[in-house]
Amino acid sequence: MRQSRAILLGTGLFVLLGFAALFFLVTQITSREFGLGDAGYRVIAMFDQVGGLKPGAPVSMSGVTIGRVEAISYDFAEYRARVTLRIDGEYNRIPEDSDAGILTAGLLGGQYVGIGPGSAETFLADGARIEFTQSAIVLENLISKFLFSKAAEKPEATQESAP
């Protein structure tokens, strides 16, 4: 029995350590938040283009994370992407005429939703909709715009130099 108690102690320690490691990996390494009460409220924003935005991406104001993107779906009534944002309860004074834009953190970083405050006296409430949105920038569109504007410039330039 003496022998087996040492074994029990060692095994207990090992199992404890193992589950602690698992728990740490699940809670500390992932972006999932385990809030017991689902505090906070939901706001909807419609975008023409969400780019690489994913559920779980941060929602920030002036760089401060105030919530997360909860869901992204496509709305066939408006033919736009519907993004549901969950804002933490403590940030409940966001003016109603604020604007939301999809921005990129760094060159290779993930995309997030940035909210710029408006000036209205009334605030966004649960289920409210952000009217002013700015879509994600798609690199291909940017390049094609640039190329087309270049192409449009050229004939004029040659005409000027021709005569």
Partner 1 sequence: MIVAVVRELWQSLRDALEALGGYAFFAARLFAGVPRALLRPGLVIEQVHNAGALSLVIIMLSGLFVGMVLGLQGFDLLERFGSEESLGTAVAFGLLKELGPVVTALLFAGRAGTALASELGLMRATDQIAAMEMMAVDPVRRVVLPRFLGGVIAMPLLAAIFSLIGLYGAQLVGVQLMGVDTGQYWSQMKAAVEIGDVMEGVIKSGVFGVACSLIAVYEGFHSAPTAEGVGRATTRTVVISSVVVLLLDYMLTAVMR
Positions in the binding site for partner 1 (CB under 8 A) = 4, 7-8, 10-11, 13-15, 17-19, 21-22, 24-26, 28-32, 56, 58, 106-110
Nearest approach, Cβ of residue 69 and partner 1 (Å): 12
Q: Pick the closer one to partner 1 by CB: 10 or 127.
A: 10
Q: Return the closest-CA partner of residue 115 out of 38, 49, 55, 44.
A: 44
CA–CA separation, 74 and 159 (whole Å): 47
* Residue partners of 136: CB distance under 8 A and separation at least 6: 47, 49, 50, 51, 52, 53, 102, 104, 111
Burial of 40 (0-12, 13-18, 19+ CB in 10 A): buried
Q: Pick the closer one to partner 1 by CB: 85 or 124.
A: 85
* Cross-strand partners of 104: 111
Nearest approach, Cβ of residue 144 and partner 1 (Å): 25
CA–CA separation, 51 and 47 (whole Å): 10
Q: Pick the closer one to partner 1 by CB: 61 or 105.
A: 105
Q: Pick the closer one to partner 1 by CB: 4 or 73.
A: 4
Nearest approach, Cβ of residue 76 and partner 1 (Å): 28
Nearest approach, Cβ of residue 106 and partner 1 (Å): 7
